[in-house]
Amino acid sequence: MLLNQILKLKNNFEAIGIANTFINWFEFFSGYMSEELDDFQIFVKPIGAKCNLHCSYCYYLNKENLYASESYKTLPEDILEEYIIQHFEASSGTDVFFSWHGGEPLLAGIEFYRKAIELQNKHKPESFTVYNGIQTNGILLNDKWCRFLAGNDFYVGISLDGPAEFHNAFRVYRDGRSSFDKALEGYRLLQQYNIRNEILCVVSSVNVRKPLEIYRFFKSLGVRFLTFLPLVIRDISKPGQVSDISVPAEEFGQFLCKIFDEWVLEDIGRIKIQIVEEAIRPAFGQEHSLCIFKKICGRVPVVELNGDFYSCDHFVDHEHLVGNIMKQSVSDLLNSDKQKNFGMAKLITLPEYCRQCDVREMCNGECPKNRFVTAPGGEPGLNYLCAGYRMFFRHVKPFAEAVGAEWRRRNR
C-alpha cells in the first residue's frame, strides 16, 4: 500500500495505527536526546586523527599531520582532566554527554577511558548524570572492550556501509585489505553484550542505487538505530562539481524515499532512522537535534589532542581554530564571538532560494560545507544535495503532518 494512500484516509484504521505507533515511539526516543541534554556536544579526539584503517573517503585522516610534532600520541591526563572539569562547568543541564571520536578512538586504549571515567566521577557535581558515547570503526572491538563498554554504559556508533561489496569499496586497511569481516564481528559483539549502538552508513555513488538491499541487510543484523551520511567530496578544480565517489544528489533523495517507504510500513517502533526523525521534528514543534538541519549551528566543536578547540569537525584548520582549553574555558570558547559567528553564518548565508523553500524548516539548507552550487536563477551558495533533500522531505511531509496533527489532537 502506498504511504500517501494510507495517509489520505484519515479515518482509516491503519493510518491511525501507524500514527499512534509512531507517536508513542517518537516521544519515547526523542525525549531523552533532545530535551534533557545540553545544547552542545564536543567531539573529543583522544588520539587525534590516528586510525587503524585508511578509508579512501575519510575527511579526517590528513589531520594527522596537525599534531605530528607533539611528543605525546594520546590526550595527556592534565588536558583530559581540565577538559572534563570545564565540560561540567559549561553544561546548563544535569545530563552530560561525552563524545569520543577520532581517527579511531579505541586506539587510545581501555586505560585511557578508565581514567576518563575516574575523572568524570571525581569532578561530577552530585546531581549530574554522565553518558559516554564513542564512534568506532569496530575493528578493535573484542570481549575485553565490550565488557568495559557494557560495564560503563557506553553508547557506541559503528561504521558499516552495507554488505561487504559496498563496505569494502572504501573502508580498507592501509595495505588495501578489506575490513568488513572485522567490523561485522565488532558489531555482533556489541549486540552480544547488549551495548546500545547505532550503525552509521556512508552513502556514496557505489551503494546509493541499492537502498533496499542495504536497508534489509541492516535489518537482518537487528539494527535499532541507523544513520545515513551522504558522501560529498568537492572537486575544487571544477566549480560546483564533486568527485566520482560522491553521492549524486537526486539519487540520494531516491535512496532515502525508498527506505522511508519500507520503514513506514514495516519498521516503525523497531528502527530509528535519524534523518526520518529529523524530518518529523518540526511537525512536533521540536528543534532539530542534528546541527546540519538546525537554523544556526556551531554547537558541535572539536577538542583535539593538545586541547585545541575548533569550530566543527569539518573545519579543523587554522582558520577555524578558536583557542585552547588550557588557556580559555570551554564555556568561553563556545560563547566566543568567533564561534558564535561561525554558527550564525549558517543562517546568514542561507540563499533566498532556501528561504522560499516549502521544506525549509526540515532542511535549513543543510551543512554550509556542502553549499557550493548555484540555485536556479544564478544565486550562489545552494547546497549540493538540495535536489535530494527536497525530494525526500517533500516525500515525508504528508506523513509528518499527519502524525503531527494526531499528536496535537491528543495533547489538546
Told to check if 179 binds ligand SF4 by CB under 6 A, we report: no
CB 316 to ligand SF4: min, Å: 10
Out of 283, 359, 402, 403, name the contact with ligand SF4 by CB under 6 A: 359
CB 294 to ligand SF4: min, Å: 7
Question: How many chain residues interact with ligand SF4 (CB under 6 A)?
Answer: 23
Whether residue 278 contacts residue 261, with contact meaning beta carbons closer than 8 Å, is answered with no
Out of 346, 396, 400, 404, name the contact with ligand SF4 by CB under 6 A: 346
Annotation marks residue 313 as catalytic: yes
Out of 44, 190, 333, 354, name the contact with ligand SF4 by CB under 6 A: 354
**Which is catalytic among the residues 38, 95, 261, 313?**
313
Name which of 71, 74, 144 is nearest 103 in CA terms. 74
CA 237 distance to own-chain centroid: 28
Other Cβ atoms less than 10 A from the Cβ of 92: the count is 8
- Which residue's CB is nearer to ligand SF4, number 278 or number 366? 366
d(CA 159, CA 139): 10
Q: Which H helix or E strand runs over 200?
A: strand 197-203
Q: Identify how many contiguous H helices and E strands the chain contains and give both numbers.
A: 15, 10
Cell of 127: 546531581
| Whole-Å CA distances, 73 to 58, 70, 105, 108, 306 | 20, 7, 12, 9, 10
Cell of 357: 523553500
Q: Concatenated DSSP letters for 60-100?
A: SGGGGGGGTTSS-SS--HHHHHHHHHHHHHH-SSSEEEEEE
Out of 87, 167, 288, 390, name the contact with ligand SF4 by CB under 6 A: 390
- Which residue's CB is nearer to ligand SF4, number 278 or number 406? 278
CB 222 to ligand SF4: min, Å: 29
CB 200 to ligand SF4: min, Å: 14
Told to check if 386 binds ligand SF4 by CB under 6 A, we report: yes
- Which residue's CB is nearer to ligand SF4, number 97 or number 187? 97
Mask: binding to ligand SF4, 273-312, rule CB under 6 A, as x and -? ------------------xx----xx-x-----------x
Whether residue 226 contacts residue 272, with contact meaning beta carbons closer than 8 Å, is answered with yes
Q: Which residues are catalytic, by number?
A: 313
Binding site for ligand SF4 (CB under 6 A): 291-292, 297-298, 300, 312, 314, 346, 353-354, 357, 359-360, 363, 365-369, 383, 386, 389-390
